[in-house]
Structure 1
């Protein structure tokens, strides 16, 4: 998947400014750092973002419990990226289905 589309979505939903021309690992590092900053300084905002992005709460809790020594920002960044990639995939999938019908079959 192209990083540009993912980064645009993250910038929009998280109100951040990540450069569109960076590698996946750089994206993950920047997002992880931003999340760690939110954990320390504005936890309520982080919770609101996770809710808005629709990160699976049970999966998040499980991963945090199973990896107590791991950086929480890293775990959360991975889940956010996975969820955003899933959204992009579904949007493409459903927009393609819409174009498969001729005008008379649409509502």
Structure 2
């Protein structure tokens, strides 16, 4: 599991990748975030896009490189609601980006 600094970095990437207003997620309010807190923040945005602008959600998932095949498979096999499945995949991808940046910035 990633540490709280990585989770906060992934939230910052999410905010940027989804082209949300700076500080939309109010990340400056806390120094560290848990996975569960990040999950809830991201899921709120995903649920909103599912309801109001599905095409924008699809575009952003493509831009941040969430695998369409893995997403379809996860949606087909999961008993969780779609917003939860999509949120998990977004967090997984954003945390992977954080790890890559840490690894290759040294």
Q: Provide the residue aligned with 2:10 in structure 1.
A: 6
Larger deviation: 3-12 or 37-46?
3-12
Q: 1:64 aligns with which of 71, 75, 82?
A: 75
Task: Could you tell me which runs of 5 or more consecutive residues in structure 1 were left unpaired when the two chains were aligned.
Answer: 97-107
TM-score by length of 2: 0.81
Q: Provide the residue aligned with 1:103 in structure 2.
A: none
Count the aligned residue pairs. Answer: 95
Task: Could you tell me which runs of 5 or more consecutive residues in structure 2 were left unpaired when the two chains were aligned.
Answer: none
Provide the C-alpha distance between the structure 2 equivalents of 1:11 and 1:45, rounded to a whole number of angstroms. 14
Q: Provide the residue aligned with 2:88 in structure 1.
A: 78
TM-score by length of 1: 0.81
| Off by >3 Å, runs of 4+ in structure 1 | none
RMSD value over aligned CA atoms?
A: 1.3
Provide the C-alpha distance between the structure 2 equivalents of 1:82 and 1:54, rounded to a whole number of angstroms. 11
Question: More relative contact order in 1 or in 2 (CA 8 Å, sep 6+)?
Answer: 2
The answer as to 2:66 corresponding to 1:55 is yes
